[in-house]
């Protein structure tokens, strides 16, 4: 492990840059950006691009959705341009920039962006991740690429097979580094970094700056410039956070109440509802559907077709409530959400920051609402408050009558059994249903997807599958008469065991 005694990081001064031209980017990059419809840099781009162009190491606090990919990819492409060539010889195309991500979805998204930004140049790029055939990846690597996007495990497989050589890497990006650590990739990262030249530029992006992340940075970054679009581990000021105390057993009804209340108030119904387990995720989506809310579950057990339909439905606005687990929602390119609901308080405080970072982007206002059961969730809530350094107001769910909702639910179930409830989707009569949730403005934020993610099968990485399985073990244990799981929750999730 290379240890650098990094002095206190300096903080980038935000330049008042309004256009991409002012960074001095090559005309071929600018052309690609204008084809993408990017007119001005996002705040993270305005801060990161000049610093990366100078060759400095960066520690960036930014989440997916802030435009961070272009923040590192554009200056990297610019810096590699003098080396771009049209030669057919693989030797002329060594890997010069390595971008590591925790999940295949994120790897694919980063690669997709890099390929778009570099499309008018001779720079080559490819992506490698697990769960798919290695041979096409090996072929692409053997032909030679300057920019390689990879998940750590699969990259090491290729290193072992000698299909890739990393000795000429000049730039390393650790994207969503916190997630890579959460998923247990630290040993893989160390092995990979040890294969790289010590003389290189390293960029580390993380949604939060936990002590582990700071340790990683002090080991591998040299005098990094810290770039933050929001204070580390902080949550946006423009996001209204609230937690609602609900009795155990009334959580589903509480979500229905919140969603219906929002609709009555004329607010957009579109939201992501986060659940800690796959079982709970499917169960809640079914419950919301029964309550007349267009909902769908997305988690690691869903097939590619189901995931594709769900995300397309959500982006086009036919689905209002996307019920998701953390692993499934991570890295998905979903624009700003008006509302995020935590059906379950997340086991990790960092996940709370990730989840609610889905709302209130780019100065928009948003609601981050959590439901908590007294006695069960207090410690998790206090961990969150410690991390975000603020207390979250406890509220009462105004007008909430779980008994009434349950009565309605029983009624709707009875009607369903009689077969006279219209299915929300895929039925011949769905066209003539009244459009209850016509929130044009929020819909326009969603665009039809051209992301290759939507056309390939989903296969969770072993680590994320283990995480999801652990969450399900917890859910199953809790369902079985609320007996305690055999192992502590943090350990089941692969996290650091906590002292009670
Ligand atoms: P990221 O946080 O890098 O995943 O980016 C989130 C989304 O914002 C992606 O769909 C990007 O294509 C888009 N994006 C990134 N930068 C800009 C920009 N300057 N203007 C408009 N859209 C952008």
pLDDT digits (tens, 9 = 90+) for 362-377: 556 788 999 999 888 9
Which atom in ligand 1 lies closest to the alpha carbon of residue 41?
19
Say yes or no to pLDDT of 472 above 60.
no
Which atom in ligand 1 lies closest to the alpha carbon of residue 38?
20
Query: How far does the centroid of ligand 1 lie from the alpha carbon of residue 56, in Å?
Result: 23
Q: Bigger pLDDT: 483 or 455?
A: 483
The protein residue whose alpha carbon is closest to atom 14 in ligand 1 is 67
Cα–Cα distances in angstroms (integers) from residue 372 to residues 243, 250, 376, 403, 479, in the given order? 7, 10, 8, 18, 17
Q: Bigger pLDDT: 84 or 478?
A: 84
Residues 208 and 285 placed together within one structural domain of the fold: no
- Last residue in a domain, options 379, 395, 411: 395
Domain assignment present for residue 421? The answer is no
Confidence of residue 60 (pLDDT cuts 50, 70, 90): very high
The protein residue whose alpha carbon is closest to atom 19 in ligand 1 is 41
Query: How far does the centroid of ligand 1 lie from the alpha carbon of residue 81, in Å?
Result: 22
The domain in which residue 102 lies consists of 2-228
What's the pLDDT score for residue 497? 35
Domain assignment present for residue 457? The answer is no
What's the pLDDT score for residue 387? 85
The protein residue whose alpha carbon is closest to atom 11 in ligand 1 is 67
Which atom in ligand 1 lies closest to the alpha carbon of residue 40?
19
Pocket test for ligand 1, best of 30, 34, 42, 115 (most atoms within 8 A of CB): 42
Say yes or no to pLDDT of 48 above 50.
yes
Query: How far does the centroid of ligand 1 lie from the alpha carbon of residue 363, in Å?
Result: 15
Residues 12 and 155 placed together within one structural domain of the fold: yes
Domain assignment present for residue 378? The answer is yes
- Last residue in a domain, options 228, 263, 288: 228
Q: Which pTM does this prediction carry?
A: 0.56
- Mean pLDDT value of segment 79-89: 97
Domain assignment present for residue 406? The answer is no
Domain assignment present for residue 290? The answer is yes
- Last residue in a domain, options 395, 411, 434: 395
Domain assignment present for residue 182? The answer is yes
Residues 223 and 243 placed together within one structural domain of the fold: no
For residue 155, what are the contacts with CB-CB under 8 A and spacing of at least 6? 98, 100, 128, 148, 164, 192
Which atom in ligand 1 lies closest to the alpha carbon of residue 65?
2
Query: How far does the centroid of ligand 1 lie from the alpha carbon of residue 196, in Å?
Result: 29
Query: How far does the centroid of ligand 1 lie from the alpha carbon of residue 269, in Å?
Result: 24
Confidence of residue 329 (pLDDT cuts 50, 70, 90): confident
Query: How far does the centroid of ligand 1 lie from the alpha carbon of residue 237, in Å?
Result: 21
Confidence of residue 405 (pLDDT cuts 50, 70, 90): low
- What does the alpha-carbon distance between residue 143 and residue 125 come to, in Å, rounded to a whole number? 11
Query: How far does the centroid of ligand 1 lie from the alpha carbon of residue 24, in Å?
Result: 20
Query: How far does the centroid of ligand 1 lie from the alpha carbon of residue 380, in Å?
Result: 32
Residues 88 and 162 placed together within one structural domain of the fold: yes
Query: How far does the centroid of ligand 1 lie from the alpha carbon of residue 72, in Å?
Result: 12
The protein residue whose alpha carbon is closest to atom 6 in ligand 1 is 65
Query: How far does the centroid of ligand 1 lie from the alpha carbon of residue 146, in Å?
Result: 22
What CATH number does the domain containing 356 carry?
3.40.50.300
Residues 341 and 193 placed together within one structural domain of the fold: no
Residues 271 and 159 placed together within one structural domain of the fold: no
Confidence of residue 266 (pLDDT cuts 50, 70, 90): confident
Q: Bigger pLDDT: 39 or 141?
A: 141
What's the pLDDT score for residue 363? 59
Say yes or no to pLDDT of 13 above 80.
no
What's the pLDDT score for residue 208? 77
What's the pLDDT score for residue 311? 83
pLDDT digits (tens, 9 = 90+) for 201-246: 999 998 778 888 999 999 999 999 999 875 445 566 678 899 999 9
What's the pLDDT score for residue 409? 53
Which burial class, exposed, middle or buried, applies to 435 when counting CB atoms under 10 A from its CB (0-12, 13-18, 19+)?
exposed
The pair of structure tokens assigned to 304 is: 């590619």
Q: Bigger pLDDT: 477 or 425?
A: 477
Domain assignment present for residue 467? The answer is no
Residues 35 and 13 placed together within one structural domain of the fold: yes
Q: Bigger pLDDT: 136 or 247?
A: 136
pLDDT digits (tens, 9 = 90+) for 428-445: 222 222 222 323 333 233
- What does the alpha-carbon distance between residue 174 and residue 103 come to, in Å, rounded to a whole number? 12
Query: How far does the centroid of ligand 1 lie from the alpha carbon of residue 69, in Å?
Result: 7
pLDDT digits (tens, 9 = 90+) for 177-208: 988 998 889 999 999 999 999 999 999 998 77
Pocket test for ligand 1, best of 70, 173, 206, 330 (most atoms within 8 A of CB): 70
Residues 36 and 155 placed together within one structural domain of the fold: yes
- Mean pLDDT value of segment 339-349: 92
For residue 52, what are the contacts with CB-CB under 8 A and spacing of at least 6? 58, 71, 72, 75, 76, 79, 201, 203
Pocket test for ligand 1, best of 69, 114, 335, 358 (most atoms within 8 A of CB): 69
Say yes or no to pLDDT of 498 above 60.
no
What's the pLDDT score for residue 307? 75
Pocket test for ligand 1, best of 36, 67, 71, 173 (most atoms within 8 A of CB): 67
Domain total of the chain: 2
Residues 174 and 278 placed together within one structural domain of the fold: no
CB 358 within 8 A of CB 340: yes
The protein residue whose alpha carbon is closest to atom 5 in ligand 1 is 67
Which atom in ligand 1 lies closest to the alpha carbon of residue 37?
21
The pair of structure tokens assigned to 6 is: 């990094």
Say yes or no to pLDDT of 339 above 70.
yes
The protein residue whose alpha carbon is closest to atom 13 in ligand 1 is 67
Q: Bigger pLDDT: 268 or 225?
A: 225
- Mean pLDDT value of segment 277-289: 93
- What does the alpha-carbon distance between residue 490 and residue 475 come to, in Å, rounded to a whole number? 13
Ligand 1 pocket by Cβ (under 6 Å)? 38, 41-42, 45, 64-70, 333
Query: How far does the centroid of ligand 1 lie from the alpha carbon of residue 50, in Å?
Result: 18
Mean pLDDT for all residues in the chain:
78
Cα–Cα distances in angstroms (integers) from residue 375 to residues 241, 367, 379, 396, in the given order? 20, 25, 9, 17
Query: How far does the centroid of ligand 1 lie from the alpha carbon of residue 113, in Å?
Result: 9
The protein residue whose alpha carbon is closest to atom 1 in ligand 1 is 67
Residues 17 and 131 placed together within one structural domain of the fold: yes
Residues 246 and 354 placed together within one structural domain of the fold: yes
Residues 251 and 169 placed together within one structural domain of the fold: no
Domain assignment present for residue 497? The answer is no
- What does the alpha-carbon distance between residue 482 and residue 150 come to, in Å, rounded to a whole number? 40
Say yes or no to pLDDT of 337 above 70.
yes
- Mean pLDDT value of segment 45-74: 91
């Amino acid at each position: 492990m290379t240890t650098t005694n990094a002095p206190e990081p300096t903080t980038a001064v935000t330049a008042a840059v309004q256009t991409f031209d002012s960074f001095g980017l090559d005309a071929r990059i600018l052309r690609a950006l204008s084809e993408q419809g990017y007119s001005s840099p996002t705040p993270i781009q305005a801060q990161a691009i000049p610093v990366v162009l100078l060759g400095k190491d960066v520690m960036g606090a930014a989440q997916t959705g802030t435009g961070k990919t272009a923040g590192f990819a554009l200056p990297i492409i610019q810096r590699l341009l003098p080396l771009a060539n049209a030669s057919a010889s693989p030797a002329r195309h060594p890997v010069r920039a390595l971008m590591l991500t925790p999940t295949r979805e994120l790897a694919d998204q980063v690669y997709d962006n890099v390929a778009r930004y570099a499309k008018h140049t001779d720079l080559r790029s490819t992506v490698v991740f697990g769960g798919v055939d290695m041979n096409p990846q090996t072929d692409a690597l053997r032909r030679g690429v300057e920019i390689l996007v990879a998940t750590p495990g699969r990259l090491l497989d290729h290193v072992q097979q000698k299909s890739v050589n990393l000795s000429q890497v000049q730039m390393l990006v650790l994207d969503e580094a916190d997630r890579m650590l959460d998923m247990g990739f630290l040993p893989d990262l160390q092995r990979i970094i040890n294969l790289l030249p010590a003389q290189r530029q390293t960029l580390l992006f993380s949604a939060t700056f936990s002590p582990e992340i700071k340790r990683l940075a002090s080991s591998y970054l040299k005098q990094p410039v810290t770039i933050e679009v929001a204070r580390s581990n902080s949550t946006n000021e423009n996001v209204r956070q609230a937690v609602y105390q609900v009795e155990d057993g009334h959580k589903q009804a509480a979500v229905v109440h919140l969603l219906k209340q929002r609709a009555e108030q004329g607010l957009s119904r579109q939201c992501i509802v986060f659940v800690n387990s796959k079982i709970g995720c499917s169960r809640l989506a079914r419950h919301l559907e029964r309550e007349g809310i267009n909902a769908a579950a997305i988690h690691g057990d869903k097939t590619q077709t189901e995931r594709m339909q769900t995300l397309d439905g959500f982006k086009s606005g036919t689905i209002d409530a996307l019920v998701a687990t953390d692993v499934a929602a991570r890295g998905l390119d979903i624009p700003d959400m008006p509302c995020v609901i935590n059906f379950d308080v997340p086991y990790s405080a960092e996940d709370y920051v990730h989840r609610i970072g889905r709302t209130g982007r780019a100065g928009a206002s948003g609601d981050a609402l959590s439901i908590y059961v007294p006695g069960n969730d207090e410690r998790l809530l206090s961990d969150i408050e410690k991390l975000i350094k603020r207390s979250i107001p406890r509220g009462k769910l105004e007008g909430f009558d779980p008994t009434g909702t349950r009565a309605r639910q029983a009624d709707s179930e009875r009607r369903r059994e009689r077969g006279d409830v219209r299915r929300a989707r895929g039925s011949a009569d769905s066209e003539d249903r009244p459009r209850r949730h016509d929130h044009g403005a929020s819909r326009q934020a969603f665009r039809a997807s051209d992301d290759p993610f939507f056309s390939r099968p989903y296969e969770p990485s072993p680590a994320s599958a283990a995480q999801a399985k652990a969450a399900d073990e917890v859910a199953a244990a809790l369902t079985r008469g609320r007996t305690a799981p055999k192992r502590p929750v943090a350990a089941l999730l692969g996290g650091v065991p906590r002292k009670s």
